[in-house]
Structure 1
Amino acid sequence: MTQPPHDEPTAASPEELREQIERTRHELGDTVEELAAKADVKARAQEKAAAVKEQAAALKEQTAAKASVLTGQARAKAAEAAHVLQDKLPEPVRDKAAAAAGQARATADRAEQVWQDKAPEPVRDNRTVLIVAGAALLVACVLLRRSRQ
């Protein structure tokens, strides 16, 4: 074992010696706890993961706030551009565009109603999956046709 440091005076009485021993035990216990905490890799990893999770949550909130602001700005600019465009369009073109938009809405409404009436329930429940699968099939066919040429 190593020699105790000689910078502290030795105890003059047994009571002082007991106090020194008790103080040394507490210091040694604290040191052992600190070393154990540093050696506990799992706990340190969990602490680091929690810190990263908090940072990610804060970043998510900042990003959502920024996206909200940018979305509002984009909507305002789009509305402004629409008004400018509408002011510059001749009256007959505006009337035709409005009529075409009305027809498109009516056609979309009819298509949605037909979809609800005629499509089987499993198809209606998985519409997004079927659309994605159809798009993927279409892309595959185009790529296959291009590779043969």
Structure 2
Amino acid sequence: MNEQPQGDGSAETDRLREQVEHTREDLGRTVEALAAKADVKEQVVEKTAELKEQAAEKAAQLTGKLREKAGQAADLVKEKTPDQVLEKADQAATQIRDTAVHAGQLAAEKTPEQLRQKAASAVAAARANRTPLLVGGAVLVVTLLLLRGRKQK
């Protein structure tokens, strides 16, 4: 009937198969793209990550600018402060440190051994239970502030 030469039909068949395969690949990419657009949850996750990254970059920029401004302000204060004042401030700081060390030594010498041991165990307990102590202290401060506010009214 309609017989075509074997060589010509085979080449045409191969070309059609390649087109079909190429079309399938294109269709697969299109379906993946549509599925990605339809996945709202994934879009939210991606957008959130993008916004977090942008916020972190902005925060880093602002922190850098603030540090730079603070450094400039400190330099300006140092420049404007007379040398005599800086020397006196340094002397006062040294004297305060020395006095604090001396007071600590005197307190250690005068404190009975039993009291020092109890203080050391109290410090160890406080360090071991730091979070509950901080929370309790915060609650105490808030309570005192609320009571103070009510008394003033």
TM category (shorter chain) comes to 0.5 to 0.7
CA RMSD of aligned residues (A): 4.2
Residue 35 of structure 1 deviates from its aligned partner by: 0.7
How does the TM-score come out when normalised to structure 1?
0.54
Corresponding position of 1:52: 51
Aligned to 2:126, which of 109, 120, 123? 123
Decide whether aligned partners of structure 1 residues 105 and 125 sit closer, same or farther in structure 2, where only a CA change above 3 A counts. farther
Structure 1 CA distance for aligned equivalents of residues 83 and 135 of structure 2: 37
- Any stretches of 5+ residues in structure 1 without a counterpart? 1-12, 88-93
Decide whether aligned partners of structure 1 residues 40 and 141 sit closer, same or farther in structure 2, where only a CA change above 3 A counts. closer
Structure 1 CA distance for aligned equivalents of residues 128 and 80 of structure 2: 38
Decide whether aligned partners of structure 1 residues 17 and 67 sit closer, same or farther in structure 2, where only a CA change above 3 A counts. same
The structure whose residues are more often helix, as a share, is 2
Structure 2 counterparts to residues 1-149 of structure 1, below 5 A? 15=13, 17-83=16-82, 86=85, 104-106=96-98, 108-109=100-101, 110=103, 118=119, 120=122, 121-123=124-126, 137=140, 140-141=143-144, 143-148=146-151
Residue 133 of structure 1 deviates from its aligned partner by: 5.7
Structure 2 CA distance for aligned equivalents of residues 108 and 124 of structure 1: 23
Decide whether aligned partners of structure 1 residues 124 and 44 sit closer, same or farther in structure 2, where only a CA change above 3 A counts. closer
Query: Aligned pair count?
Result: 127
Structure 2 residue identity aligned to 1:27: D
Deviations 1:72-120 (A, max 9, x none): 1121133234328939xxxxxx69xx66x56644554436976xx5462
Residue 65 of structure 1 deviates from its aligned partner by: 1.3
Residue 41 of structure 1 deviates from its aligned partner by: 2.5
Identity %: 44
Runs in 1 of length 4+ with deviation above 4 angstroms? 16-20, 101-104, 106-109, 111-114, 124-136
Decide whether aligned partners of structure 1 residues 45 and 85 sit closer, same or farther in structure 2, where only a CA change above 3 A counts. farther
Structure 1 CA distance for aligned equivalents of residues 46 and 138 of structure 2: 44
Decide whether aligned partners of structure 1 residues 54 and 33 sit closer, same or farther in structure 2, where only a CA change above 3 A counts. same
How does the TM-score come out when normalised to structure 2?
0.53
